[in-house]
Structure 1
Amino acid sequence: MNILRFVVVCIFTLAASYEARGVARITGTIRDASGAAVSGAEVFLLTPALTTVAASRADAQGAFALEAPTAGNFVLLVRAPAFDEVRRPVVIVDGQPVRPIVIVLEVGALAEDVTVTASGESVDDLRRAAHPVNVINAEEIADRVKTVMAQAVESEAGVALQRTSPTMAGVFVRGLTGNKVNVFVDGVRYSNGAQRGGVSTFLDLLEPEAIETIEIVRGPSSAQYGSDALGGSIQFFSRPPSLGVQGGGRWRGWLTANAGSAHRTGGGSALLGYTGPTLGMTATVGGRGTGRVRTGGGIDSHAAVTRFLGVPSDLLMDERLPDTGFHQAGGAVRANWVPSANTQLVASYMRSAQDGGDRYDQLLGGDGNLISELNALSLDLFSLRLERAAVGPFDHLSLTYSLNSQREERVNQGGNGSRTATIGHEPERTTVHGAQASFTKTLSPRQTLTVGGDTYFERLTSDAFNVNPSNGAVSARRPRIPDNATFTQGGVYAQTTFDVAPDRLRLTGAARWGGARYRADAADSPAGSAPLWPSDSLDVADVTFRAAAVVTPNDSWSVLLSVSRGFRAPHMTDLGTLGLTGSGFEVAAPDVAGLNGTVGST
């Protein structure tokens, strides 16, 4: 944990220090489709992590001016009442003036999206991105989400949504899901080594009102985002606070309420934001209760009896499906403080809880178990990020510390219909401390370079037990993953982009060395019994890369040529799960080492 202490100390030390450096001036005009000036439009300059570094407001002639603290890649964001929001990439190079920018605002226009994830620490037009990327904005999230966050990806080209129960979902990217597609929130790794291979237990604990944008990178992206990015990577960005607009501090907010008949659902949300010269804050809170789901025509086409036996589901259950209701609530706060022109400090915290989400797919609608509960799910996600301009030879430095704690309890009773069968309880909590660093340099108006690294220290705790329903006797049982198992993963990377012909040919390259370490100790088994699991360990590492060329003959179409290599380290779930599972019978690697066995088809 010494690395984490070092990162936190560096964040506060650099935030407190300040040395004035030169700035770049960005000017431009804002007009509507008829050519008339749009006065009063708000203009923000954001980093690729969506941190505000400068803000301004258009004057009566629609003119604006911003002072950028350093060279680098930025997002220019323009907002005005009754007009669609506009985002433009801006590249600033030391000692070179920025050409005036003309922004045309339209009503109901097709958005020209930019992406901040296709090439890591850079901002790209979607047409020129080195990866195919889906960008889902806040309005689309609000329109699509009825009960859970995963619904935001519905109708997106190139991805598919799988929901095996009302609270669990998986997003398929390039035919892969689960622990083959990693998930980030504000650049911090959200998925962990305890994640299962299929649908995610915790994806839907993200509250939709707290999220501003979702980006889905399609295709292997391990060179940028590390282990598990085989199918791609999903990035959630929380609502960034605004700051720096002239006119002093001001407050804003909204309240929403919703209800639905299909799920008998109801809920609401609220947002409160503060904008000041050097401090901005956004806080959201929301919750919902969902009743039993009614499928089309009252028949569940996914029910096991309907799929396999052709028996209409309403012969065995009500038209409103049993075990499909749940309730959830959560909140988030994000603050952005600018202690100096070159320094931004961003802190964010998310907390959510969910309960009552039974596994319908393992109950009457699927496997036929008597009990299959998901109880007391909770998420605590905290991050503290320092962004510093003009650090040594680099234009931009980012240091991040994060704490991600995810808790669940699964309760199951199979027993082939016997109410006296053992009831198994598997409470577990995975706690992850993370540290990240990246350095970015704009080498020329055509080329940027980013180097960095990250590491995540994970620990899982679980005190699984069985309950005899006949007499209430409690006995220890082997948890899904050994109690106190640890998993450490991370790596170092470098990436660059080069515009051979501006707006016509761009080359992108990235390379990463990454590795992981797993440890489980038999001595951590419950006292007074034989070890419930063997001691086990594994160390793995590999090199991944990506090279891409984007050819844009004209503004109407582009051609993307890409070659990449993915990497996925075995997880705690892969290595720690033993015995009979839903996907087969698992054995520990040390138990079969040297037996010349065959794994799969290899």
Structure 2
Amino acid sequence: MQKHFLTILLIAISIPVFAQNLGGKVFNQITKASLSGVNIKLEGSTSYAFASDDNGLFLKELSPGRYRIKASRVGYETYTILIELKAGQFLDLQIPLVETINSLSEIEVVSASRRNTSSLKLPFASSVLSRPSQSENIPRSTPESLSIIPGVFVQKTNHGGGSPFIRGLTGNQTLMLVDGIRMNNSTFRYGPNQYLNTVDPFSIDKIEVLRGSGSVQYGSDAMGGVIQVFTKDPGFSKSTNFKGSVSARYGSGNMEKSGSSEFVYSSSKLVFSGVLGLKNFGDLIGGDTTGRQSPSGYSESDASLKLKLKLSERAEISIANQFVQQNDVDVFHKVRLENFKINKMGVQGRNLSYVKFRMLQSSRLLNEINITGSLNNTIEERNNQKNSSFITGFERDKVSSSNLSAEIFSTLSSYWTANSGMEYYSDKINSIRNNTNSQSGALTTLRGLYPNNSSYLNTSLYSLHHLELAGFNAELGLRYNWLKASIFDKDLGDLQVSPGAFVWNTGLNYTLKDHHVYVSLNTGYRAPNIDDMGTLGIVDFRYELPSYALKPEKSYNSELGYKYAFKNLTLGAALYRNKMIDLITRIQTTQIIDGYKVYKKENTEQALIKGVEGFLGWQASKNFSFDMFTSFNHGQNLSKSEPLRRVPPFNGNISMKYKMTRLYVKGELAWADKQGRLAQGDRDDNRIPRNGTPGWKVLNIYSGYSFGKAHLKLSAQNLFNVDYRTHGSGINAVGRSLWMNVQYNL
């Protein structure tokens, strides 16, 4: 791999430097402030996509001809202009953007089609959240930031977790990506997990959520949808430039004391940037009757570094490392409800390193080439001790995931573009477990939760095609996936399993002025992983045995949607139906081990989720705006004639905001109905009340003020001190509290 990479790098360096003939600046039309990270798309004989730098500037070399330029950024209306570039001419553009409420306005999204595409013209449902650490809601963690996105419901098993549900599905039935690289590995478990919490919100530029689609675009696990995190990616600048900022956050009752710093060094050929942070989260204080929930706090350290080199005007390389480590993450409900003196994740973390090479070409067939190589190491350590027991248990799971992928973009005609590629992922699992007797000092070594030294290979080929003609936009895609699991179990023997899956999707959007109607059909799948096949031990409130004779889960999602965006009003709605077959489910056996019921997984069930979601945004005046969304899912286990497990209740969010140049005030009402439709598995889950999770309504107030280079944000949450939890959570949500964030730009 290293030899091939060096060859590619040498070829890229040998590409001649072209003269720059297009440049300009993007800025806020009212304040005249420069806007960084603006997506700029050029459509002509060939298509290009890039972003403005931290000074709002951009430079490009283009062939002479006519181009349509679109500039878009979350929070602003899309700017469109037609230009004609002549030979020997340098064109300097000044692009003013106008702020908008942007519930749906024509921003460019990547995740739905693996390329920059207008959100209005896509036959899929997608949402974008820009820079969560700087948003008005100042969310504590990355999962919690998603609570304001339609169709997403966030469950928290513990304070150090946060598992987003997309249209009723979570865990290994939804896919999470960071900068286009899979977070999901072969040990991701069914049901809620904590992994998205290992992404530092201060390092994020934007989060895209694709609902109801994703297996064709990104592979296994995307049965409910895709959550893709894009980390901050500063652009090159004309001259040498250095910028930085420091941030501090505090939550009342010592619920948070955090600090973060950011720096960017940029020049015409090099960019080096980083985000460093330390966080200390105290015990979460619940509502009026719960109070302090101890133990639930934890500490965290973060580092995100990125280096970009411009090899030529048409080629660049990016090298990045992301490190997050969380310590002593207590599982509150285990200590409170299951007779544990200690039950915590001693360490949970992620260390991702990657190299990305990007090259633009003048060829229609090879318009753009992207090559990525990465290594992602995750770790989870678990410590436990029962009350009145001398035995302390220790478990550690490490997964090393390496990746190599290549993608090409083609402009096949004036109305037909495509991107095709190959992805290869390889997981290596290290899993250990031991018990220590504090009286005798004896150490007993046991089999880990997963078979030690097992491996998992995941290889895919895909091709996505995009057609645009006379108001119609069509999306067509195919993917084939080969998988190979090699499980080495000293007790149960060695095994190799090689499942495969073929999926396709299609969608059609029709635009008539400001109205957009779409229909789509997406097939999805989730291949059985090491967690499905090799788990042996206690998981949540049950004991699991390995299951080797498994095949992929499959889904068939159909959707009908409508989008509208004109001047001060945006709205949208979608009806969807997701039929799932060959679901891998836990089947209870007659055994009891260590007081826990014993389960084994089988492909035994079919299920159906039907739902509706809608949202509306209204810019009532220059300073006042109104937003709302609702989401409803009805999940049914067709095999058992009972409700599907953990389906979120009817929920929504209503907010009103008053904003001036330096000041904003926002009121938010978040709510959820009671969820009384329970599967037997829900009734067996000690995190869910006997008669279901009660409904709740919570009022929050957010405000902020900017003075010079300093920015102050205040958040007053749960003003009426309601005692509540989101359905399926193991800990109650925060009670009445005050949060403060201060940022100073150097």
Normalising by the residue count of structure 2, what TM-score does the alignment of the two structures yield?
A: 0.67
Distance 1:44 1:228 in 2: 31
Counterpart AA for 2:411: T
Counterpart of 1:356 in 2: which secondary structure?
strand
Distance 1:554 1:46, change over 3 A: closer
- Alignment match, 1:519: 486
Residues 293-312 of structure 1 correspond to what in structure 2 (within 5 A)? Answer: 293-299=284-290
After TM superposition, give the deviation of residue 156 of structure 1 in Å: 1.4
- Segments of structure 2 that go 5 or more residues without pairing to the other structure are 43-47, 552-600, 606-638, 640-746
Q: Retained in 2: the 8 A contact 1:141–1:208?
A: no
After TM superposition, give the deviation of residue 278 of structure 1 in Å: 1.3
Counterpart of 1:418 in 2: which secondary structure?
coil
After TM superposition, give the deviation of residue 534 of structure 1 in Å: 2.5
After TM superposition, give the deviation of residue 201 of structure 1 in Å: 3.0
- Alignment match, 2:304: 332
Q: Are positions 1:361 and 2:330 aligned together?
A: no
**Quick one: which of 576, 590, 594 aligns to 2:534?**
576
- Alignment match, 2:554: none
Counterpart AA for 1:226: G
- Note the alpha carbon deviations across 1:454-501, whole angstroms, 9 max, x for none: 011110112211112332211111111011110111201001111121
**Quick one: which of 171, 174, 190 aligns to 1:178?**
171
Distance 1:511 1:70, change over 3 A: farther
- Alignment match, 2:370: 398
Residues 12-161 of structure 1 correspond to what in structure 2 (within 5 A)? Answer: 12-19=9-16, 25=22, 32=29, 52=50, 66-68=60-62, 103-107=95-99, 110=102, 112=105, 114-138=107-131, 142-161=135-154
Q: Retained in 2: the 8 A contact 1:115–1:129?
A: no
Distance 1:70 1:347 in 2: 32
Counterpart of 2:205 in 1: which secondary structure?
strand
- Alignment match, 1:272: 263
After TM superposition, give the deviation of residue 154 of structure 1 in Å: 1.2
Distance 2:542 2:438 in 1: 27
Counterpart AA for 2:328: G
Distance 1:73 1:207 in 2: 38
Distance 2:280 2:440 in 1: 35
After TM superposition, give the deviation of residue 419 of structure 1 in Å: 2.1
Q: Retained in 1: the 8 A contact 2:258–2:279?
A: yes
- Alignment match, 2:697: none
**Quick one: which of 517, 535, 541 aligns to 1:559?**
517
Distance 1:382 1:224 in 2: 22
Q: Retained in 1: the 8 A contact 2:40–2:72?
A: no
Distance 1:298 1:145, change over 3 A: farther
Distance 2:130 2:209 in 1: 12
Q: Retained in 2: the 8 A contact 1:56–1:65?
A: no
- Note the alpha carbon deviations across 1:289-330, whole angstroms, 9 max, x for none: 11111111142xxxxxxxxxxxxxxxxxxx311111111111
Counterpart AA for 1:373: K
Distance 2:448 2:508 in 1: 48
Counterpart of 1:401 in 2: which secondary structure?
strand
After TM superposition, give the deviation of residue 519 of structure 1 in Å: 0.6
- Alignment match, 1:314: none
Distance 1:328 1:429 in 2: 19
Q: Are positions 1:381 and 2:348 aligned together?
A: no
Aligned residues: 549
Distance 1:86 1:338, change over 3 A: farther
- Note the alpha carbon deviations across 1:152-196, whole angstroms, 9 max, x for none: 101211110001100012110121101111111111111211112
Q: Retained in 1: the 8 A contact 2:296–2:330?
A: yes
- Alignment match, 2:579: none
Q: Retained in 1: the 8 A contact 2:534–2:548?
A: no
- Alignment match, 2:235: 242
Q: Retained in 1: the 8 A contact 2:26–2:35?
A: no
Counterpart AA for 2:294: P
Distance 1:216 1:45, change over 3 A: closer
Q: Retained in 1: the 8 A contact 2:132–2:145?
A: no
- Segments of structure 1 that go 5 or more residues without pairing to the other structure are 300-318, 523-530
- Note the alpha carbon deviations across 1:98-147, whole angstroms, 9 max, x for none: x9988443356547352433443321222112321110001575444543
Distance 1:92 1:582 in 2: 60
Distance 1:259 1:41, change over 3 A: closer
Distance 1:172 1:241 in 2: 31
Distance 1:383 1:195 in 2: 21
Q: Retained in 1: the 8 A contact 2:533–2:548?
A: no
- Alignment match, 1:408: 380
Counterpart AA for 2:61: E
Distance 1:71 1:477, change over 3 A: farther
**Quick one: which of 533, 537, 543 aligns to 2:496?**
537
Q: Retained in 2: the 8 A contact 1:411–1:423?
A: yes
Counterpart of 2:295 in 1: which secondary structure?
coil
Aligned-pair identity (%):
20
Counterpart AA for 1:569: A
Q: Are positions 1:347 and 2:319 aligned together?
A: yes
- Alignment match, 2:713: none
- Which one has a larger percent strand, Structure 1 or Structure 2? 2
Distance 1:138 1:283 in 2: 15
Q: Are positions 1:284 and 2:272 aligned together?
A: no
Q: Retained in 1: the 8 A contact 2:123–2:475?
A: yes
After TM superposition, give the deviation of residue 200 of structure 1 in Å: 2.4
Q: Retained in 1: the 8 A contact 2:373–2:403?
A: yes
Distance 1:72 1:218 in 2: 36
338-347 vs 196-205, greater mean Cα deviation:
196-205
Distance 1:65 1:389, change over 3 A: closer
Distance 2:522 2:256 in 1: 44
Distance 1:69 1:439, change over 3 A: farther
Counterpart of 2:202 in 1: which secondary structure?
helix
Distance 1:384 1:468, change over 3 A: same
Counterpart of 1:154 in 2: which secondary structure?
helix
Residues 461-540 of structure 1 correspond to what in structure 2 (within 5 A)? Answer: 461-501=430-470, 504-522=471-489, 531-540=490-499
Q: Retained in 1: the 8 A contact 2:550–2:602?
A: no
Counterpart of 1:483 in 2: which secondary structure?
coil
Distance 1:95 1:514, change over 3 A: farther
Q: Retained in 2: the 8 A contact 1:145–1:208?
A: no
**Quick one: which of 413, 418, 428 aligns to 2:388?**
418
After TM superposition, give the deviation of residue 72 of structure 1 in Å: 14
Distance 1:427 1:47, change over 3 A: farther
After TM superposition, give the deviation of residue 370 of structure 1 in Å: 2.5
After TM superposition, give the deviation of residue 73 of structure 1 in Å: 12
Counterpart of 1:363 in 2: which secondary structure?
helix
Q: Retained in 2: the 8 A contact 1:127–1:558?
A: yes
